[in-house]
Structure 1
Amino acid sequence: MFTGLSAFPLTPFTESGVDEKAFRGLVERLSEAGVDSIGALGSTGSYMYLDRQERRRVAELAVDAAGGTPVIIGIGALRTRDVHACAQDAQNAGAAGVLLAPVSYQQLTSDEVYTLFEEVTRDLSVPLCVYDNPATTHFSFSDELHSRIANLPNVRSIKIPGVPLDPIEAATRVASLRARIPAEVTIGVSGDEFAARGLNAGCEVWYSVLAGVLPAPCVALTRAAQSGDADTALELSHRFERFWQLFRAYGSLRVVSVVAEILGLVTNPKLPAPLQGLGEAIRGEIVLALDDLG
């Protein structure tokens, strides 16, 4: 399950809450496009803006709409008690796996993060992906900590934030982490602009924001890298360059919410307040980015 392309859809909102019909459509579209897994309630899914009841419902919708495609559910929360509750809800919903980031308000220590994963994995019946996302959690994993956590029961993947741009340095980075973790634990790249370089460097999975709205070209990039065609993977990534620039400038969540509206996947791409959408000038740039993909 933790290989290939894992696509992370939006959780679209209406004035009253989650737009269930639009969310089901997003998930069904990903399954039909042939992604290898679907990551609901990730950062793109706005999980930290939802209460437990909303998260439980989104997990149920995702599993039901995904057909036979494995669904990974984000379970991060500020308190360990709530992480346990979200993990139980995800398992009850039929999730194939869970994704855990060490989110916090107070800065966490390495020992606190290890204890979190130790306690949560102890009660899991499904595999877990470690979500290393310092841009949002403000916590940076060391390779030593990754090694300790990767040896816990049920840990099966590590989602790293990116790799160096130089191919040799990228391969060295991935190999260094690989040498520290069990063989059954995969390494996945996130930060979409690093996808081709990460896959070419030995990462087994791309955890993708953009694939949540544009699965077909992301599947093509992933399959090229998986087949050993590194040049084609980089060429396909270059076609996304305008998107990578927009992500850096405005944040991937805001950009893909506009993409979903332009493509007619959602009618009201509301973000959870206080987050706001993007103006008309930026929407024009997003249209140009879509044109780059034909």
Structure 2
Amino acid sequence: MILPNGLSAFPITPADPSGCVDVGALRRLVTPLRDAGVDSIGLLGSTGSYPYLSRQERRRAVEAALDAVGTDVPILVGVGALRTDEAVALAQDARAMGAAAGLLAAISYTPLTEDEVFAHFVTVARESGLPLCIYDNPGTTHFAFTAALVGRLSREPGVIAVKSPACAPPEITAHLQGLREAVPAGFSLGYSGDWNTVEALLAGADTWYSVMGGLFPQTAMAIVRAIRTGDHTAARELDVRLQPLWSLFKEFSSLRVIYAYADALGVCHTDPPRPILPLPDRARDRVVQTLRGLDLR
């Protein structure tokens, strides 16, 4: 298993109002990611609306993505579910279809304890055989992984990485150091939250789990390549140029922004899953005008 590293690009999952995945549109979204040289594709993440899709439609999405990119780029698949047995089944599906790893969040209606989350992850990893990335998304799940819990899970067979929400730049170095001290060498530490992630990479994070990268992979890869070559000035300059996009993400949510612009580009004509509503016309016009001015690719 190749550990997640570099850019993991997260596309949306186009679907009709009944939740049927538009496999043709999904192929059009993931093929440019492969062509841009992304390090992995994060399929069915939060940007990919995994909680809104049935098991059958998740399978169709994985099949379509793998059909489009083959073995050229590893695919990480969201396997989160309320019930542990459902998450096991989803992870088994992903593994059988050829996914490289699963993204598992601590989804729950009743608040979970650390011991419950630990048992959930260990069971899914053991019974599915699919390598797992811890998906720490407290803004959605209302469960935050402590460094101690990440460290505990990192020593379990099959748990290979963590995807954390990126802290503000002043706190990122300390957060990353706390995780490094908790996990064994080689365990992949990555961040999401595009507006803070460049500084996380500069601080030494392994992976950028990127919403922007799911639609603009060449621009995202330019940042990753600058960091890899030690050109931190160029990476920060690109980050500054993207501030209008980060502002839109914060104001409207990255999900709504990407749906609006994917439609404007003609990549796919689909709305977010209800009850999420598409942006109103005025906000959509702002998004389109702003992003066209940035000339993202």
Q: Tell me if TM exceeds 0.5.
A: yes
Tell whether the 8 Å contact from 1:124 to 1:154 is kept in structure 2 after alignment: no
Which AA in structure 2 matches 1:88? Q
Which AA in structure 2 matches 1:277? P
Which AA in structure 1 matches 2:284? R
Counterpart check, 1:76 vs 2:80? yes
State the partner residue of 2:175. Answer: 173
Which AA in structure 2 matches 1:148? R
**Cα displacement (A) at 1:292:** 4.1
State the partner residue of 1:275. Answer: 276
Tell whether the 8 Å contact from 1:97 to 1:129 is kept in structure 2 after alignment: yes
Q: % of aligned pairs identical?
A: 46
State the partner residue of 2:242. Answer: 240
Tell whether the 8 Å contact from 1:99 to 1:130 is kept in structure 2 after alignment: yes
Tell whether the 8 Å contact from 2:6 to 2:207 is kept in structure 1 after alignment: yes
State the partner residue of 1:36. Answer: 39
Matches within 5 A, 1:1-294: 1=2, 2-16=4-18, 17-67=20-70, 68-166=72-170, 169-266=171-268, 268-294=269-295
**Cα displacement (A) at 1:112:** 0.7
Cα offsets for 1:192-246 (capped at 9, x unmatched): 1111101001101100011111111001111112222222111111111111111
- 1:163–1:278: structure 2 CA closer, same or farther, 3 Å change rule? same
Provide the rounded CA distance (Å) in 2 between the counterparts of 1:15 and 1:143: 39
Gapped regions of structure 1 (runs ≥ 5): none
Which AA in structure 2 matches 1:22? A
Provide the rounded CA distance (Å) in 2 between the counterparts of 1:187 and 1:259: 30
**Cα displacement (A) at 1:190:** 0.3
Secondary structure (helix, strand or coil) at the match of 1:179 reads helix
**Cα displacement (A) at 1:152:** 0.8
- 1:292–1:202: structure 2 CA closer, same or farther, 3 Å change rule? farther
Provide the rounded CA distance (Å) in 2 between the counterparts of 1:288 and 1:204: 33
- Once superposed, what is the RMSD of the aligned Cα atoms? 1.3
Secondary structure (helix, strand or coil) at the match of 1:188 reads strand
Tell whether the 8 Å contact from 1:239 to 1:292 is kept in structure 2 after alignment: no
Provide the rounded CA distance (Å) in 2 between the counterparts of 1:78 and 1:6: 25
Gapped regions of structure 2 (runs ≥ 5): none
Cα offsets for 1:84-139 (capped at 9, x unmatched): 00001101111011110011111111111111011111124332110001011000
Aligned residue pair count? 291
**Cα displacement (A) at 1:171:** 2.1
**Cα displacement (A) at 1:173:** 2.0
TM-score (ref. length: structure 2): 0.94
TM-score (ref. length: structure 1): 0.95
Moved over 4 A (4+): none
Tell whether the 8 Å contact from 2:91 to 2:130 is kept in structure 1 after alignment: no
* Segment of structure 1 superposing worse, 12-21 or 57-66: 12-21
Provide the rounded CA distance (Å) in 1 between the counterparts of 2:242 and 2:25: 25
Provide the rounded CA distance (Å) in 2 between the counterparts of 1:245 and 1:197: 17
Provide the rounded CA distance (Å) in 2 between the counterparts of 1:278 and 1:293: 20
Tell whether the 8 Å contact from 2:134 to 2:162 is kept in structure 1 after alignment: yes
Provide the rounded CA distance (Å) in 2 between the counterparts of 1:147 and 1:101: 16
Tell whether the 8 Å contact from 1:199 to 1:226 is kept in structure 2 after alignment: no
Which AA in structure 2 matches 1:288? Q
Provide the rounded CA distance (Å) in 2 between the counterparts of 1:264 and 1:218: 21
Provide the rounded CA distance (Å) in 2 between the counterparts of 1:142 and 1:162: 14
**Cα displacement (A) at 1:15:** 4.1
Provide the rounded CA distance (Å) in 2 between the counterparts of 1:23 and 1:141: 31
